[in-house]
Amino acid sequence: MGEERGNPVRGRFNAAVLRVLDGYAHRVLGGHKAPLFAGLPDRVVEIGPGTGANLRYYRPGTRLVAVEPNPYMHAPLRAAARRRGITVELLPSGAERIDLPDASVDVVVSTLVLCTVPDPAAVIGEVARILRPGGRLVLLEHVRATTAGYTLLQRLTAGPWRWLFEGCELCRDTEDTLRGAGFATVRVERYHARTVLFPINPQIAGEAVR
C-alpha cells in the first residue's frame, strides 16, 4: 500500500503505519514472500515499496529502483536500505508513468500496491512496457473474496478503508486484470492470509511473465 494519493495527513499516517506493522507483516506474509523473492537479479524495480517492508527479502548489494510517490516514505526507505546494504534509486512518481526505457528491466516487484493505484490496468501495462521479453512481474496482492459472505464484508468496510488508506480498494479482481494484460504466462496462488486486517486476507501471490 505504497501509492500516495496526495493527502499529506494520510500520507504521513500511512508511512507511520507501515513502519509500525513492518515486523508483523513479515511474520504473517513472509512465508509467501520469501519464495517469490528467491533468486531475484541484482537490479530490481519495485513499485510502491513504501518504507521498505520487502528489503529484508533482497540480497545485500541489490540495486533497487524504487517507484514511490509518497514523500513521507522516502526517508525511512533510504534508512532501511542502508541498514541492509541495498542501493536505492528513488523515482518519486506514480506507477502509471515510470521513467525507464522500454524493455529495460528483468523483474518488477509489486506487493499490496495494485489495490491502491487509481488505474491498475494502466499500471500493469506500464510494467509490461518496461519489462524485457521473458521479464517477470512478481506480485503479492489482496483481492476480492470468492465467497458471497466475505465479499459482502469487504463491501461494507470498503468506504472507510478507502479513505483511511489513500484509495485502497478491497474488491479488485487483480488476477483477472493480469490475465487480460497480454502476458505470456500468469501463475498465481490464491490463499487466505491470517492477519488482523481481515478485509485484506483474501490474497494472491505469484508472477506474470512478459
Q: What is the pLDDT of residue 165?
A: 87
Q: Is the pLDDT of residue 6 over 50?
A: yes
Asked if the model's pLDDT at residue 4 lies above 80, the reply is: no
Within 10 angstroms of residue 5's Cβ, the number of other Cβ atoms is 18
Q: What is the pTM of this model?
A: 0.91
Q: Which of 84, 144, 152, 125 is nearest to 208 (CA)?
A: 125
**pLDDT, tens digit, 9 for 90 and up, residues 139-178:** 999 999 999 999 999 999 999 999 888 889 999 999 999 9
Residue 16 has pLDDT above 80, yes or no: no
* Structure confidence at residue 20 (pLDDT): 63
Q: Name the nearest CA neighbour of 201 among 180, 168, 170.
A: 170
Q: What proportion of the chain, given as a percentage, has pLDDT over 70?
A: 91
Strands 202-209, 105-111: pairing is: unpaired
CATH 3.40.50.2020 fits domain 8-209: no
More confident: 62 or 1? 62
pLDDT-above-90 percentage for the chain = 83
pLDDT at 1: 47
- pLDDT level of residue 2 (50, 70, 90 thresholds): very low
Per domain, the residue ranges of the chain are 8-209
**Sheet order of strands, 185-192 included:** 87-91, 63-67, 43-47, 105-111, 131-142, 202-209, 185-192
131, containing H or E segment: strand 131-142
